[in-house]
Structure 1
Amino acid sequence: MNVLWIMADQLRWDYLSCYGAKHIDTPNIDNLAAKGVRFNKTYVQSPICGPSRMSFYTGRYPRSHGATWNGFPLPVGTPTLGDHLREIGVTSSLVGKTHMTADVDGMRRLGIDPDSKIGSLVSEGGFEVFVRDDGTNAVTYKNRHAEDYDAYLRAHGMGGDSPWEEWANTAIGADGKKKSGWLLETAPLPARVPKEHSETAWLTTRGIEFMQQQGDDPWLCHLSYIKPHWPYLAPAPYNDMYTADDLPDVNRRDNEHDHPLMQQWEKTRICENFSRKDVRDMVAPVYMGLIKELDDNLGRLFEYLETSGRMKDTMVVFCSDHGDNMGDHWLGEKDLFYDCSARIPLIVYDPRTAADATRGTSSDALIEGIDLAPTFQDFFEGPAKPHIYEGRSLEPLLHGKDVQWRDHCISEYDYATRDARRMVGVDQLDARLVMVFDGRWKYVHVETMRPMLFDLENDPDELHDLGADPAHTEQVARLKELHFDWTRQHHQRITRPAAIVEAMTDDREPEGIYIAHIDQAGLEDQGLKMPPHIDA
């Protein structure tokens, strides 16, 4: 049995037709949903690439693994999914993006050679790398990993100092000059790279090649796509497949924000630009085109799974690492806990007969991204590790079992590096947000400021912050207590499972240690004896 874990970057849940989108059709992703379970209320543990992915890869919250922002290394020694699966003979391989930053200082301190087998696994978040592609270039991202794609482009006649930059992220303007995909005004133009050689097409091919090379040993393949993440530039015909007329209405209202943090946040460059109608009308249709390109390539991938027989022995999981605000709530990019950013699609196809009863169904259970790691552990029949994994296996839900599930989920956000933090005068140590969502009420703890509160039953678009409304103090207090309960849990006691703790309790003091016994008779009452060199 194997796992193909597909992740798209920055894909909104509500831009898929199987989740009810009317403005775009994604038949191949829909087809996967018809074979498995579509989870409707899945939330990432941080609405930003790096910390979200590190939570997926460790099964732990950001406060537990410490990689709370992009470029913050996952501390050396942090156990990952790859580590746990390797213990039971399963190889975890990467095809695509992780946003992993190696803890170089930690490895140096411990004398770990980054080029050694252990050093490589530590550097890559526990994955064995078939191909890594973070979709960036050496100029804009110093820790880039796109060399394989660059080599591929050169082999197909697309050269230059940085083929990713010059072909996948460059268009030709009406004046015949090259225009960078980093500029939003370039979005409607077709990328220079032909669609058959785009990153999405290339990663799909590489994922198929990986599976073709596997033997009988079990494997997990993390096929992690770059798109529809920025730069918002698509190859023809996807660049102009949609127009502004195809877009859903923007979700926001005038004077929406009265929270001091949000009032400053919407003034940042990203938010101001994406709040402009002309910008959204240029960019969002291309975002849709990138999603359509992804769906078309997934059709090719799923066809291979069917024709090769892999659908019979492979769990297929599709999700994203976060969404995209795309002008909603006067915001751009990802960030923060609105559903357009923190809520993601999650579809799980389980090939086992035990999952037959749930095929083509949906679930409204509250799911966290950290639930996938223990789900894979279960699938491969590995030992449960609740002292390490903070998520829960989805297997009972996939198999239609009656199980008591969580009644709220948690997401975190470290905004220490964001401009809004300085604009409101918050120290970087206090730039912390925590979301508690119980399926109706979404509470956001804001350190040093009042909380935010949204009632998604009466306000599903999250347009009215009730955090300062005296009529909702009871809900604020209840959710604040849930947050406090969560902070008091064991988040770092991961080296001793519960069974060992119980055994230590039963055994009391170690052999040869006698604490607070009055006399020999007291020892004997406890079934203990003094060592033989002591006189009775």
Structure 2
Amino acid sequence: MAHAPKNVLFIMCDQLRFDYLGCAGHARLETPNIDALAARGVRFDRAYVQSPVCGPSRMSYYTGRYMRSHGANWNNFPLRVGEPTLGDHLKKLGVRTVLVGKTHMTADDEGMARLGMDRDSVIGVQTAECGFEPYERDDGLHPSRPGAKRPAYDRYLEQQGFEAPNPWEDLANSGADADGEKQNGWLLAHADKPALIPDEHSETPYMTRRAMDFIREAKDDGRPWCLHLSYIKPHWPYIAPAPYHAMYSESDVQPAIRSDGERQNPHPVYGAFMDMRVSRNFSREDIRHRVIPTYMGLIKQIDDQLGHLFRFLDEEGLTDKTMIVFTSDHGDYLGDHWLGEKDLFHEVSVKVPMIVVDPSPEADATRGTVSSALVEGIDLAPTFIEYFGGTVPRHIIEGRSLAPLLRGAPALDGRKFVVSEYDYSMLDVRRTLGRKADECRLFMIFDGRFKYIHAPGFRPMLFDLSTDPNEYRDLGDDPDFEAERTRLKEWLLGWALTDHSRITMPDARIEGYGPGPQLKNGFVIGYWDEDEVAKARKDYGLD
């Protein structure tokens, strides 16, 4: 690889499970382009997100900080003004940080107004868009209310002749029955129907082309870039264009990962989540058989589009200059553990696919390998900073660079555990459990074997993945595992008490503070007389 690294292509899918890839061992789903990417880099098979829901997970990816640090606890919780983002860190290094697709970022409009920031100014856009230059932002939920700002994809569909009050919902994410009558793609019953637009005009190919448009334009700019290509799929609505809607069938659906024992006297929080409508529906086999083939088709479409994108990078001479990352913001239960959506901490929800291709020659020895190191979503921000030649600000960034693992080192600074958090105050589960809004936090700590879940107001949950890899048996009240629960709770407490708010004072500045600098600046607190001051000045080399 003769060329120096220059760019980062940061690809994220929405709601893609770690085990729905060919290279991860799925029995029926073939993903040759993603598999080829893994053959060129490192696939991390124990990568965990910092929250199992879109908004807080993404804010952790984009800040390199845990949810308890950035405070955007759920979807549409604003990321506060002043929270440093990946874009802020990379801008200092002369890197353009650009978005094509989804962020789920909600701007802190009140904070911006308080500071007198013009949202249309350069700094206002950067603050409102999570540090990204929004080349094409589309969170995948297109508003219908009068006066709402419509994403560019709606205009694109209209220009192609697909006109409707809300073309994203009415056409791109709806199907039709045998009589040609429109069927709403939000409803699980219609997941087997093809979308009312052809493949080439659906969301995934459209976003892929927009990424290519940016890359072409960026060649004339000359600056290095970090392009976040954030696909909206395979997130619901579960509906795919032809031919992807019919590529897979009921026979391709893998057996659900669940046991009857999980429903026998479950933990109160787990039981409340099992009682949600989406969980009750996905617990039905007929619904799983209707939805999962389409989910697989949406993944296959992403893989096909990545094939086009990777060939484009080859043609543009950028492959050997670009770090490529492929990951997801969280998984999808799809009926596993009697749950739908992604709201708890089982592996299918909180563990994500993560593939990193470092084009640097130093990474040649690890190409095509699988790393079982414990890694977190927040590790990507420091990885990118280091890749572009920067120094990771440890008082701000809580993740750890993956560079050592990409280049053959054995571990990430002795990491003992990963952490994920969830705030369920926005769900009906809060009312079911009779909790107040500030009493709905969950914390997961996982040491590679034991997964401990702290649920304030309730007993903990505990799973031993070495003897129970499917997480069927909750050991949270088993007396034989009291020592493990105590150990992990102490680790979690230590993590919670770690300083995470001192983002305005770098470590180096603190470490440089002491009696010598104090004396140099004229502070003689505690000295007895002039002779003692003179001796101290001499000892500190100030004279």
2:47 aligned with 1:42, yes or no? yes
Superposed displacement of residue 304, structure 1 = 0.7
Mapped partners of 2:520, 2:298: distance in 1:
62
Mapped partners of 1:42, 1:252: distance in 2:
22
Which of 375, 383, 393 is residue 385 of structure 1 equivalent to?
393
Indicate conservation of the 8 Å contact 1:132/1:146, yes or no. no
Superposed displacement of residue 410, structure 1 = 0.5
Which of 114, 130, 136 is residue 131 of structure 1 equivalent to?
136
Please list every run of 5 or more consecutive structure 2 residues that lacks an aligned counterpart in the other structure: 1-5, 539-543
Q: Which residue of 2 aligns with 1:533?
A: none
2:403 aligned with 1:395, yes or no? yes
Give the superposed CA RMSD: 1.5
Q: Normalising by structure 1, what TM-score? A: 0.96
- Which has the higher mean CA deviation after the structures are superposed, 321-330 or 506-515? 506-515
Can you list the C-alpha shifts for 1:43-82, whole angstroms capped at 9, x where unaligned? 0000000000000000000100010100000000000010
Mapped partners of 1:509, 1:121: distance in 2:
42
Q: Which residue of 1 aligns with 2:523?
A: 513
Q: Which residue of 1 aligns with 2:81?
A: 76
Superposed displacement of residue 169, structure 1 = 1.2
Indicate conservation of the 8 Å contact 1:89/1:218, yes or no. yes
Can you list the C-alpha shifts for 1:120-177, whole angstroms capped at 9, x where unaligned? 000000000110011112138x997752101111111111221111211111112321
Matches within 5 A, 1:245-324: 245-257=251-263, 258-324=266-332
Superposed displacement of residue 479, structure 1 = 0.6
Indicate conservation of the 8 Å contact 1:134/1:144, yes or no. no
Superposed displacement of residue 515, structure 1 = 2.2
Indicate conservation of the 8 Å contact 2:518/2:524, yes or no. no
Indicate conservation of the 8 Å contact 2:519/2:537, yes or no. no
Superposed displacement of residue 217, structure 1 = 1.3
Residues 1:185 and 1:493: Cα distance change in structure 2 (over 3 Å): same
Q: Which residue of 2 aligns with 1:65?
A: 70
Can you list the C-alpha shifts for 1:277-298, whole angstroms capped at 9, x where unaligned? 1111111111011111111111
Mapped partners of 1:524, 1:167: distance in 2:
82
Can you list the C-alpha shifts for 1:248-274, whole angstroms capped at 9, x where unaligned? 100111140421111121111111111
SS of 1:13's equivalent?
coil
Q: Which residue of 2 aligns with 1:410?
A: 419
Q: What amino acid is aligned across from residue 315 of structure 1 in structure 2?
A: M
> Identity over aligned residues, as a percent?
53
Residues 1:40 and 1:146: Cα distance change in structure 2 (over 3 Å): farther
Mapped partners of 2:309, 2:439: distance in 1:
45
Which of 86, 91, 106 is residue 91 of structure 2 equivalent to?
86
Mapped partners of 1:521, 1:430: distance in 2:
60
Indicate conservation of the 8 Å contact 2:10/2:326, yes or no. yes
Superposed displacement of residue 522, structure 1 = 3.0
Which of 15, 33, 36 is residue 10 of structure 1 equivalent to?
15
Mapped partners of 2:173, 2:107: distance in 1:
26
Which of 221, 225, 233 is residue 227 of structure 1 equivalent to?
233
Superposed displacement of residue 510, structure 1 = 7.6
Superposed displacement of residue 276, structure 1 = 1.2
Indicate conservation of the 8 Å contact 1:134/1:145, yes or no. no
Indicate conservation of the 8 Å contact 1:180/1:186, yes or no. yes
Please list every run of 5 or more consecutive structure 1 residues that lacks an aligned counterpart in the other structure: 529-536
Indicate conservation of the 8 Å contact 2:63/2:85, yes or no. yes
Q: What amino acid is aligned across from residue 241 of structure 1 in structure 2?
A: M
Q: Which residue of 2 aligns with 1:447?
A: 456
Q: Which residue of 2 aligns with 1:523?
A: 533
Q: Which residue of 2 aligns with 1:427?
A: 436
Q: Which residue of 2 aligns with 1:110?
A: 115
Can you list the C-alpha shifts for 1:7-37, whole angstroms capped at 9, x where unaligned? 0000001010101111211111000000000
- Which has the higher mean CA deviation after the structures are superposed, 185-194 or 254-263? 254-263
Mapped partners of 2:474, 2:391: distance in 1:
43
Q: What amino acid is aligned across from residue 524 of structure 2 in structure 1?
A: Y
Matches within 5 A, 1:102-251: 102-139=107-144, 147-215=151-219, 216-251=222-257
Q: What amino acid is aligned across from residue 418 of structure 2 in structure 1?
A: C
Mapped partners of 2:313, 2:255: distance in 1:
37
Can you list the C-alpha shifts for 1:185-212, whole angstroms capped at 9, x where unaligned? 1110000010011000100111111111
2:505 aligned with 1:496, yes or no? yes
Indicate conservation of the 8 Å contact 1:368/1:409, yes or no. yes
Mapped partners of 1:312, 1:205: distance in 2:
21
SS of 1:15's equivalent?
coil
Q: What amino acid is aligned across from residue 387 of structure 1 in structure 2?
A: H
Q: What amino acid is aligned across from residue 163 of structure 1 in structure 2?
A: P
Can you list the C-alpha shifts for 1:218-266, whole angstroms capped at 9, x where unaligned? 1000000000000001001111211111011001111404211111211
SS of 2:386's equivalent?
helix
Residues matched between the structures, number: 527
Q: What amino acid is aligned across from residue 364 of structure 2 in structure 1?
A: D
Indicate conservation of the 8 Å contact 1:36/1:361, yes or no. yes
SS of 2:232's equivalent?
coil
Indicate conservation of the 8 Å contact 1:136/1:146, yes or no. no
Can you list the C-alpha shifts for 1:473-530, whole angstroms capped at 9, x where unaligned? 01101111110110111111111111100112352378243323333333223229xx
Residues 1:206 and 1:287: Cα distance change in structure 2 (over 3 Å): same
SS of 2:375's equivalent?
strand
Superposed displacement of residue 447, structure 1 = 0.8
Q: What amino acid is aligned across from residue 93 of structure 1 in structure 2?
A: V
Indicate conservation of the 8 Å contact 1:421/1:427, yes or no. yes
Q: What amino acid is aligned across from residue 179 of structure 1 in structure 2?
A: Q
Q: Normalising by structure 2, what TM-score? A: 0.95
Indicate conservation of the 8 Å contact 2:16/2:235, yes or no. yes
Q: Which residue of 2 aligns with 1:19?
A: 24
Indicate conservation of the 8 Å contact 1:3/1:316, yes or no. yes
Residues 1:229 and 1:145: Cα distance change in structure 2 (over 3 Å): farther
* Structure 1 ranges of 4+ moved more than 2 A: 142-146, 401-405, 508-526
Mapped partners of 1:507, 1:17: distance in 2:
59
Q: What amino acid is aligned across from residue 61 of structure 2 in structure 1?
A: F
Superposed displacement of residue 3, structure 1 = 0.3
Indicate conservation of the 8 Å contact 2:20/2:29, yes or no. yes
Q: Which residue of 1 aligns with 2:359?
A: 351
Which of 333, 358, 376 is residue 368 of structure 1 equivalent to?
376
Superposed displacement of residue 86, structure 1 = 0.3
SS of 2:262's equivalent?
coil
Mapped partners of 2:461, 2:468: distance in 1:
14
Q: Which residue of 1 aligns with 2:541?
A: none
SS of 2:19's equivalent?
helix
Residues 1:17 and 1:307: Cα distance change in structure 2 (over 3 Å): same
Indicate conservation of the 8 Å contact 1:415/1:432, yes or no. yes
Mapped partners of 1:269, 1:522: distance in 2:
76
Q: Which residue of 1 aligns with 2:467?
A: 458
Mapped partners of 1:88, 1:147: distance in 2:
30
